[in-house]
Amino acid sequence: MRTEKQEETQGHLLKELCGSDDRLYAVLSHYLYETPWAAISRKELDVLIKEAEEGGKFRSALDKAIFEGAQEPAERERYIEVIRNLVSKSIRATEQEIGRLEKEGLAERAASLAKGIEAQRFISERAGDVLGVASRFYDEKLLEQEEDESRMARKEERLRVEREEKRIGEQEEARREARRRNRRKMGRRERREAKRRDRQEDLAAAGKKAAREEARKEAEREEDRIAESEKARRDTRREARSED
């Protein structure tokens, strides 16, 4: 299920892509997905078409055909025919279901399905425009997915570094405490020598910690640079859409 925020984001992008074509926007707002990699079946299109023909439910196959057609502009005409064929079969199956519902006195459900037929006919008639908008919409969504995955990977790396720094700090504190306990058992001369060695170890540990801290700060600076670069690319894409 799409969240309210996702629907708002999707609607804004779709509105840009559909321009003044309100009907195209209204239909595609129900046929395009904010997260296509999660919403659209990973099965092969041929498999989905076969399942649809056997079960009478064509939505998954139609979604897949639109998504694939959007990613394959060189095969646009072939996918237009696939979409129109699926819509034709879906309408026939839906009309049969409407007839059954009306016989059973379920007029409201029948009317709801009839509205779906109107949208599918529109998709068939405007299949080229549907794929044109879907192509740009899904290109943007897939780019956003790549950016999200990259940010998540960087976040996981930061958390790993933080956990490692905590582990090192705990180990160093445990070693210092062990050295303090050992010094209490030593004679004066041994204790002086042990303190000298301990200071050397502490200096070495402090140097390593400073190097890790600088590496962490550089990673944060790189994160800022990446975030700025991603924002610049998003702004560039948005400007390009507005100029079309």
pLDDT in tens, 178-189: 988 888 888 888
One-letter amino acid identity for 87?
A: V
Work out the mean pLDDT of the chain and round it to a whole number. 88
Q: Quickly state the pLDDT bin for 36 (edges 50, 70, 90).
A: very high
Q: Quickly state the pLDDT bin for 35 (edges 50, 70, 90).
A: very high
Q: Which two tokens stand for residue 139?
A: 């290109």
Q: Which two tokens stand for residue 29?
A: 């707002």
Alpha-carbon distance of 164 to 223, in angstroms, equals 19
Alpha-carbon distance of 80 to 101, in angstroms, equals 31
- The number of CA neighbours under 13 Å toward the Cβ of 96 is 8
**pLDDT for res 7:** 47
When pLDDT is averaged across residues 76-100 and rounded to a whole number, the result is: 94
**pLDDT for res 3:** 45
In SS3 terms, 135-171 reads as HHHHHHHHHHHHHHHHHHHHHHHHHHHHHHHHHHHHH
**pLDDT for res 28:** 96
Higher pLDDT, 49 or 242: 49
Higher pLDDT, 188 or 10: 188
**pLDDT for res 5:** 45
Write out the E strands in the chain. Answer: none
The residue to which tokens 């894409």 are assigned: 237
Residue 104 per-residue DSSP state: T
Alpha-carbon distance of 7 to 10, in angstroms, equals 5
Q: Which two tokens stand for residue 28?
A: 């595609």
Other Cβ atoms less than 10 A from the Cβ of 79: the count is 23
**pLDDT for res 49:** 97
In this structure, are residues 36 and 65 in contact, taking their beta carbons and an 8 Å threshold? no
Q: Quickly state the pLDDT bin for 92 (edges 50, 70, 90).
A: very high
Instruction: Inform me whether the pLDDT recorded for 83 exceeds 50.
Output: yes
Residue 73 per-residue DSSP state: G
Q: Where are the domains of the chain?
A: 31-125, 144-243
The per-residue pLDDT for range 192-236, each reduced to its tens digit, is: 888 888 888 888 888 888 888 888 888 888 888 888 888 888 777
Q: Which two tokens stand for residue 123?
A: 């998709």
Alpha-carbon distance of 64 to 36, in angstroms, equals 9
* Pick from 7, 88, 71: nearest CA to 37: 71
The residue to which tokens 């700060």 are assigned: 217
- The number of CA neighbours under 13 Å toward the Cβ of 176 is 14
Share above pLDDT 70 across residues of the chain, in percent, rounded to a whole number:
94
pTM: 0.73
* Pick from 140, 49, 135, 143: nearest CA to 87: 49
